[in-house]
A and B are shown apart, each in its own frame.
Chain A
Amino acid sequence: MKKISANYYDSSKPMHPFWEEFHALIAYRELIFQFVARAIKTRYKRSLLGVVWTLLNPLLTMIVLTIVFSQLFKITIANFPVYVLSGQLVWIFFSNTTSSAMSEMLFSGELLKRIYVPKSIFAMAAVGTGLVNLLFSLIPLILIALLLGVKINFALLTWVLAIILISGFALGLGLLLSTATVYFADMLPVYNVVLTIWLYATPIIYPLEIVPQPWQGLFRFNPLYYYVELFRTPLLSGVVPGFDIWLPAIGFTLGMFILGALVFASKSSEYAYRM
């Protein structure tokens, strides 16, 4: 008798699809690495300015917004360029990761009809790619902060935890959206509209202070508000945010991850039929 191993497939085995997917992801870890490498390489391969372009976009937005708010609205905020740029980096990570989790899933339909791969690999690779790009863009952020005289201290180490939390949230939402996109082909444009609204509902490109006081309470319902705070406060103020920020952030991450993973796992065997 052959021993029962990773090479044993039983379509009716009584394992929860979540654990099945988890095991498969471990077996296919090399593929996650290859997908991330592919995304990074193809992005930068055909243009020398590739790396510069990725960073140029948030930098230009930072410059424009700084001029707009300081000259037109006469609002003075200490280190506003760093405020805008740090918020944008979190936003770019979040929006790129979640939308590419769906589009990769959608565009891999032909592949999924032909060979078996654990389907959550696309969302995992999207998060991995987002993380690599985020790490790249931390370099100009820290340089600009130093140039503008921001005092950087050990509070910055909590970034590691903050990045883990937002990655978990993005992964959960990415899985949820990938499930939806298999059923509804127009999910991608719908989500792009949602993203535009979400961007304006989060204090990223505008100062928190311009929002009228009674309205500011609404930010409590926006998960991204907490992740942006977790990322911004240690850099701008040099302090670790309080539990009033950490606890909701952890709660949103756990909730979204569990929801996304369970919905995805329960539907994943249907994808090859639908695509």
Chain B
Amino acid sequence: MESSSVIHLENVSVSYRIPGEQLSGLKEFAIRWLQRRLQYREFLALKGINLDIQTEEIFGVVGRNGAGKSTLLKVMARVLKPSSGRVVVIGKTAPLLEIGAGFHPELTGRENIYLNGALLGYSRHQIETNLAEIISFAGTEEFIDAPIRTYSTGMVARLGFSIATSVRPDILLVDEVLSVGDIAFQEKCLARMNDFREQGTTIVLVSHAVERVRSFCERAIWLDDGEIAASGKAGDVVHQYLLTSA
């Protein structure tokens, strides 16, 4: 492990065990088991990935749908434990994976800020210190005491992003989130991410929007079928990716 690495992946594989047929429950499982007909298929989403991401680096991941990009991010975010290999992550990590997950429709915006903040591992003190800033960044001041179920999709996404980025993390994991919200809000998100990078946050960005990876990231990998097909300067990797997928 290199001394300046904050994310270190060592021969990481992730294999999903997919039942041959969908088993609906205990009853069916018992029947199949008795009949010795339980069959599973292994699906390797990541195959022996070795990767080191340095501190303060802006790192991009490109690849087709189903290439393992999101799985890679989940392994870094501690959501999935790798089937084999080793993952080390040093620093406070904030995942921006499909923000808005974890909101409760019946609770107000304000109550959801506390709930969502706690889900992200913030202390009550951190949430209270940043409450005003979270609300104003999301632009939801007028509706903050109304239940979330009355919010528009865009408002939910804005509030989600605002909470997730209210405390500057050491590592920010971003998965396609910039596709939500209108142009003005996307600009705000990018501006905040730029602030973070200037203050020393390491950012891992997974995106279909290769232009964004090219302009925003320094280094990148191209993930294909669970393996690293290319790695190096973001511009070069995106170039190679576009050549083969065009």
Contacts and interface: CB of A to CB of B under 8 A. Distances in A.
B97 A7 contact: no
B79 A273 contact: no
B119 interface: yes
B98 A114 contact: yes
A11 B88 contact: yes
A42 B106 contact: yes
A10 B80 CA distance: 12
Contacts of B118: 28, 30-31, 33-34
A220 interface: no
A209 interface: no
Contact of A269 (B81, B90, B104, B122): B81
Contacts of B146: none
Interface stretch (A54-62, A126-134, A185-193, A248-256): A185-193
**Of residues A11, A45, A46, A269, which shows the largest number of chain B Cβ atoms within 10 Å of its Cβ?**
A11
Interface in A102-135: 110-117
B25 A186 contact: yes
B188 interface: no
Contact of A111 (B3, B26, B119): B119
- In this complex, the interface size class of chain B, counting residues with CB under 8 Å from chain A, is 35 or more
B17 A273 contact: yes
Contacts of B180: none
B91 to A, nearest CB: 5
Given A11-B88, A184-B26, A186-B27, A116 B107 contact: no
Nearest to B75: A11
B89 interface: yes
Given A10-B87, A273-B80, 12 more contacts: A9-B78, A11-B75, A11-B87, A12-B87, A30-B123, A31-B118, A38-B115, A115-B102, A115-B120, A184-B25, A186-B24, A270-B81
Interface of B: 3, 16-17, 24-27, 29, 74-75, 77-82, 85-93, 95, 97-98, 101-102, 104, 106-107, 111, 114-115, 117-124, 170
Q: Which 5 pairs, one residue from A and one from B, show the smallest C-beta to C-beta distance?
A: A186-B25, A184-B26, A269-B81, A116-B78, A31-B118
